[in-house]
Structure formats: C-alpha cells, structure tokens
C-alpha cells in the first residue's frame, strides 16, 4: 500500500475509529487517504505558504512595509458599512458577526505585520512619532485606577 490510496468518497470524511492517524481529504477531484501521524497535506501546504509570505514581508524596505500594513485595513474596512447595512435591514446577527469577524481579522493581520517589521516601520520619522504618541497614551491608560481590579 502506498502513501496515497484512491477512495470512492466525494468529500472529506473520517475513515475509521483511528481517525487521528487516517483521514480522507478531497483533493483535485478525488479523495485520497493520508496515512501520516503528523500534519495533513493541506496543513503543510498552508504552513509553506505562510512561511513564504512571512519571509517576503520581512524582506521589504520601510516604506513598502508601511504600504503592506495598510492592505488589511483597505481590504477589511468596507465590511463595517456592510455590517451596518445588514443590521439596518434587520439582520442584526449577521451584521454583528460580519463586523466582529472583519475587525478581529484586521487587527490580527495588522498586529502580525507590525511585529514582523517593527524596526523598519519605526525608522520612518512620522510613523515613529505617531507610535510614540500612541504608546504614551496606552501607558497613561494602563496606569489609571479605572478598570483595575482591586483585591480586598
């Protein structure tokens, strides 16, 4: 028996009780059984893509890194008016889910890109000034008594 065995199933499904070692994956028009104890084929391809994207983002110079920081904002910001529209026509649940999902994705991507290119971004004078002001405000907010939990 080889690593990839054709199966007649039209979609992904778990094969047997030993599902952590043997699972079916729909791939290229036919299902295949993967018999590995580690990652699935899609998981490893996803990891390769993410690693390449990370290396590419790190290789950028300061101003292209700043432009890359704006991409998640540009792509995900239009979800806010869409969420408002959905809420306005009575689909409150769908609007709330759209808003929260878009905001979480945007903040996650911006944070990850900032962490990857922090030194380069802080080498841009205007960005460094804005970051210094933001950090000052965050330190001020964290030092306030309001919102702290008092242990009695």
The ranges assigned to domains in the chain are 4-38, 61-119
Report the pLDDT value the prediction gives residue 151, as an integer from 0 to 100.
Answer: 63
**Quick check: 69 pLDDT over 60?**
yes
In the predicted structure, residue 13 carries a pLDDT above the cut 60: no
Q: Per the confidence metrics, is the pTM higher than 0.95?
A: no
Is pLDDT above 80 for 34? no
DSSP string spanning the chain?
Answer: --SEEEE--SS--B-SS-TTT-EEEEETTEEEEE--SS--HHHHHHHHHHHHHHHHHHHS-HHHHHHHHHHHHHHHTTHHHHHHHHHHTT-HHHHHHHHHHHHHHHHHHHHHHHHHTHHHHHTSHHHHHHHHHHHHHHHHHHHSSTTPPPP-
pLDDT mean over 42-66:
85
Share of the chain above pLDDT 90, in %: 57
Q: Which residue has the higher pLDDT, 142 or 95?
A: 95
């Amino acid at each position: 028996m080889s690593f990839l065995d054709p199966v007649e199933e039209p979609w992904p499904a778990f094969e047997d009780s030993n599902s952590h070692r043997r699972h079916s994956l729909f791939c290229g028009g036919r299902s295949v059984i993967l018999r590995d104890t580690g990652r699935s084929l899609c998981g490893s391809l996803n990891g390769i893509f993410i690693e390449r994207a990370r290396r590419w983002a790190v290789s950028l110079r300061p101003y292209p890194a700043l432009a890359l920081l704006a991409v998640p904002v540009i792509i995900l910001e239009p979800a806010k008016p869409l969420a408002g529209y959905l809420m306005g026509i009575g689909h409150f649940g769908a609007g709330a889910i759209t808003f929260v999902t878009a905001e979480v994705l945007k903040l996650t991507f911006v944070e990850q890109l900032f962490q990857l290119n922090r030194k380069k971004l802080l080498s841009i004078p205007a960005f460094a000034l804005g970051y210094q002001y933001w950090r000052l405000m965050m330190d001020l907010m964290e030092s306030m008594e309001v919102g702290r939990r008092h242990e009695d």
